[in-house]
Amino acid sequence: MASKRIFVVGTGSVGEALIREAAARGHRISALEADVKKAEQLARLKGIQVIRLREFSLDELRDAGISRADLVLATSDNDDQNMRTITYSLELGVPRVGSLASDEEHREIFQRLGAEIVIVPARIVSERLCGLFLSTSVVYDVVLNDGSRVVQIIVNEASSLCGTSPSNIGPVEEDHWIIDVTRGQQHYAPTSIDTLVSGDLVTVFFARQRATNGVLSAILQ
């Protein structure tokens, strides 16, 4: 993959991880961040240009040189800021704009605005877990500050988890861990029950690196 000039605007819960991974893949990264502490953290990363935003205006993005970008990624946790990033970037002639969105409704809005790629990180994780565990229902999905996730799924009779010992599953592809099983009102450690049954609520930890790679691969495909 050829090296791209990527401007990342807003480093939300997965933004910094995306920056690290994109830089590791050889892309040239400029990070635009309004938060002082986050900007200072990013400045410690090798090979990353950090531009401190103050007003988050069209003129400020123009002065930052965003029109030179091959790709702009809006990765704030704030959908309103991502919407403005998309609008300003396209107005300044950026050829490709990608964004994260908190839900499907915002994904559709961002696409109508002209974003070429809009990713809902929770959807990637949920689809991956359902693909791994088959016939489960995702009932809870939250991203943590470091970009990792905690997901809860309900085991159904048709699920590949049903009848399986959670202690034998361990890490799935070295990035998922079952950390709790709730049966009725009782919580169990994975090692304390023999087999999972239909109706069990399983809490899975999803490591940051895999979540980041999934999002980045979707954006840079």
pLDDT at 126 over 60: no
Residue range(s) in the chain whose domain bears CATH number 3.30.70.1450? 123-210
Average pLDDT, the chain: 80
pLDDT for 171 equals 45
CATH T-level fold of 5-119: Rossmann fold (3.40.50)
Contacting residues for 142 by C-beta, under 8 A, at least 6 apart: 149, 150, 151
pLDDT at 63 over 90: yes
* Alpha helices (runs of H) in 65-197, residue ranges in sequence order: 79-91, 104-113, 121-133, 166-169
Q: How far is CA 72 from CA 16, 51, 63, 116, 159, in A?
A: 15, 14, 15, 10, 40
Residue 145: pLDDT band (50, 70, 90) is: low
pLDDT for 154 equals 83
| Residue-by-residue DSSP string for 67-103 | GG-SEEEE--S-HHHHHHHHHHHHHTT-S-EEEE-SS
Least confidently predicted of 55-69, 131-145, 149-163: 131-145
pTM strictly above 0.75: no
The better pLDDT of the pair 113, 208 is held by 113
pLDDT for 134 equals 47
Domain formed by 123-210, architecture:
2-Layer Sandwich (3.30)
pLDDT for 141 equals 64
Residue range(s) in the chain whose domain bears CATH number 3.40.50.720? 5-119
Q: C-alpha dihedral over 153, 191, 159, 217, to 10 degrees?
A: 60
Residue 21: pLDDT band (50, 70, 90) is: confident
Mean pLDDT of 73-81: 90
The better pLDDT of the pair 7, 47 is held by 7
Residue 97: pLDDT band (50, 70, 90) is: very high
pLDDT for 31 equals 93
Residue 32: pLDDT band (50, 70, 90) is: very high
The better pLDDT of the pair 1, 206 is held by 206
State what percent of residues in the chain have pLDDT above 70.
74
pLDDT for 42 equals 87
Least confidently predicted of 11-15, 73-77, 139-143: 139-143
Contacting residues for 102 by C-beta, under 8 A, at least 6 apart: 77, 79, 120
State what percent of residues in the chain have pLDDT above 90.
28
